[in-house]
Amino acid sequence: MSEDQVSGSIPRRASRTPRRRGLRWPAWLERWPAPARIAAVVLATVIVVVAVGAAVDVALAAGRIHPGVRVGDLPVGGMRVDEAVGALGVYVAQSSAEPVTVAAGEHSWSVGAVEVGLSVDATALAGEAFAVGRGEFGSAVAERVRALLGGVTVPLQLDYDTDGLETVLAAIRDATTIPAVDAAVAVEGVSVTRTEPRDGLGVDEDAAAERIIAAFVSDVRAVTLELVPIAPEVMTEDTEDAYQAALKMVSAPLTLYYDDKRWEVAASAIGDWIDFRRVESTGSVVLEAYLVSEEVSATVLPMVEQVGRPAKDATFVASAGKVTIVPAEDGLAADAESLAERLTTVLTGSDAREAELTMHRVEASRTTEDAQAMGIVERIATFTTEYASSNKPRVNNIHVLSDALNGTLVAPGGVFSFNESIGQRTAAKGYQEANAIVNGKLVPQLGGGICQVGTTIFNTVFFSGLPVVERRNHSQYISSYPKGRDATVSWGGPDFKFKNDTDHWVLVATSYTNSSVTISLYGTSPGYDVTYETGPFTNLVDPPVREVKDPDLPVGSKVVDERGVSGRTIVVSRTVRKGGTVVRTDTFKSVYRAVEEVVRVGTKPVASQSPTSTP
């Protein structure tokens, strides 16, 4: 028993080493359960670490693309924008240097970047890469964390020339596509048949375009395109209404009537009128039967022409220097277009297959008012040339050609062409064979004599003052024409052209006799004053002479078979004035070749006479 116990005193606390005060949770956390307090601490720690990391990242990425960012397969993190622009340009150029092989079916193509105009907007892509992690704070931090942990990829968008790519796709399409066959209806006479639809084959061109462009920056340089079915646009059920309508249209003849006249159209003829068109109907394409107005016209108008009359254009009559207008006359014709629409209803309806013709007024192409506004009011110039009346075929050709030329109109600013206006000279048009100069020789030719008219109209234009656009002289000099003012024309060869430089239309009018032809120009006079000067003949060349031995002619005798013509050159100058001011000057130079002379020389010996004895 201890002393304390013995004495009964109160025991003292044993002496201990002082203890340190432990870390305590903030008062507001003391009330949370222990797991919640631990989670809060972890979250706070992560936030601090992220904030510090973001601050460090911001410092490191200042002015540069955030680490972990790629454009396509190209890492650009840590680059300045200009560095990324250059890197992208090099990357695309190197990646697309080799062509891409495209295969479809049994065909293949090698496609180069140049063919499709491949390019890249490197500046825009580098800008997109730089923008990663630089948006609003929350999203920016998330993007930066994602870039650091797993990377952020900006899609590599390539640009291309749509026309160039379409050319590539067109080649693929042409080689591989088997077109779909739409359901169809056909009419032959009174027989109506249907064609069933069939699928086609072809490539998906949108997908093909994407894959071809993407392959230029891919390690896989080959693109294999699968052929996919192409569905028809028109199915069998889409043709049912058209089929039934066509059957009804050709089921019986049709009767047309106007006043007391009636015409019957056979069912087979109606079949020639029918055609089919596609129309949109509730999102699908269906066939519709209709009557072609041109085909209806081709059948009906000749049948009913006795109840109509053609329109007549206003025309001009020129005589003795004056011109008058023959007024236009309206025509009357069956209205075939409206008839076609009405007949569709008649032929597919349940009523009698009869329809009344409707007539409509047909206005002339050139009305009287149109003719009056053309300004053809006076004669501008006229010229006459003469010829021998004994050469009947030549006279015939001059008359036929003059008739064809008469009434030709030249618009303001327009160019008259002799060959275009007259057309080819053929026997069907009434032309006959007559002598014409071909390669410097007179030979029979269909339409011989046309140069008489060509020379006449050239001289008419010459004295009108209007511009001469094209004129060529004959190969040999012809004394019956004005010196240096002849003009040769031939189909497929030399032409004669002039320009109407006035503000009004010009009318070409012709008249003729058996020995002369006159051509006049009518319009509104431009007020031209024409003077001219004809130079002397120069460069005279004697015709070569070719002698032909003739055993039937006595020795020493000569007969000229073909008269030669001397070669020569002549220049005609024309000056056109208006109000005393020179408007234009023209020089018409004519170079004529020498034409050989053919002479027959006798070679027949002359018999000698015996001496006569004196009785």
> Would 4 be classed as within a structural domain?
no
Q: According to the model, what pLDDT value does residue 9 have?
A: 35
Q: According to the model, what pLDDT value does residue 17 have?
A: 45
Name the β-bridge partners of 570.
590
Which among 475, 480, 477 is positioned nearest to 494, based on CA atoms?
Answer: 475
As a whole number of angstroms, the distance between CA 513 and CA 399 comes to 8
Q: How many domains does the chain have?
A: 2
Q: According to the model, what pLDDT value does residue 492 have?
A: 86
If you count DSSP H runs as helices and E runs as strands, how many of each does the chain have, helices first?
16, 37
As a whole number of angstroms, the distance between CA 476 and CA 457 comes to 19
Dihedral angle of Cα 266, 270, 272, 276, to the nearest 10 degrees: -160
> Would 554 be classed as within a structural domain?
yes
> Are 580 and 565 within one domain?
yes
> Are 339 and 260 within one domain?
yes
> Would 249 be classed as within a structural domain?
yes
Q: Which helix (H) or strand (E) segment is 383 a member of?
A: strand 378-386
> Are 390 and 291 within one domain?
no
483 vs 239, 573, 589, 590, CA distance in Å?
A: 76, 12, 11, 9
Which among 456, 452, 486, 481 is positioned nearest to 471, based on CA atoms?
Answer: 486
> Would 495 be classed as within a structural domain?
yes
Residue 567 φ then ψ, to 5°: -80, 150
> Are 431 and 543 within one domain?
yes
Q: According to the model, what pLDDT value does residue 12 have?
A: 40
Which among 366, 344, 365 is positioned nearest to 353, based on CA atoms?
Answer: 344
Q: According to the model, what pLDDT value does residue 282 have?
A: 79
Range of the domain at 294: 237-371
Q: Which of 326, 351, 371 is the last residue of a domain?
A: 371
Name the β-bridge partners of 438.
441
> Are 485 and 359 within one domain?
no
> Would 466 be classed as within a structural domain?
yes
Q: In this structure, is the dihedral angle defined by the CA atoms of residues 441, 442, 444 and 448, taken in order, positive or negative?
A: positive
Q: According to the model, what pLDDT value does residue 494 have?
A: 92
> Are 299 and 408 within one domain?
no
> Are 381 and 510 within one domain?
yes
CATH code of residue 324 = 3.10.20
Backbone φ/ψ region at 300: left (φ over 0), alpha (ψ -120 to 50), beta? alpha
> Are 306 and 431 within one domain?
no
Q: Which of 371, 392, 415 is the last residue of a domain?
A: 371
Q: In this structure, is the dihedral angle defined by the CA atoms of residues 487, 489, 494 and 499, taken in order, positive or negative?
A: positive
**Intervals of the chain under pLDDT 50:** 1-22, 615
Question: Residue type at 317?
Answer: V
SS3 sequence of 15-55: CCCCCCCCCCCCHHHHCCCHHHHHHHHHHHHHHHHHHHHHH
Q: According to the model, what pLDDT value does residue 447 have?
A: 52
Q: According to the model, what pLDDT value does residue 2 have?
A: 42
> Would 448 be classed as within a structural domain?
yes
> Are 594 and 489 within one domain?
yes
As a whole number of angstroms, the distance between CA 193 and CA 219 comes to 55
Q: According to the model, what pLDDT value does residue 14 have?
A: 41
> Would 14 be classed as within a structural domain?
no
> Are 334 and 270 within one domain?
yes
Q: According to the model, what pLDDT value does residue 563 have?
A: 82
Q: Which of 371, 392, 416 is the last residue of a domain?
A: 371
> Are 452 and 497 within one domain?
yes
> Would 422 be classed as within a structural domain?
yes
Q: According to the model, what pLDDT value does residue 443 have?
A: 52
> Are 549 and 433 within one domain?
yes
Name the β-bridge partners of 202.
228
Tokens 């048949």 belong to 193
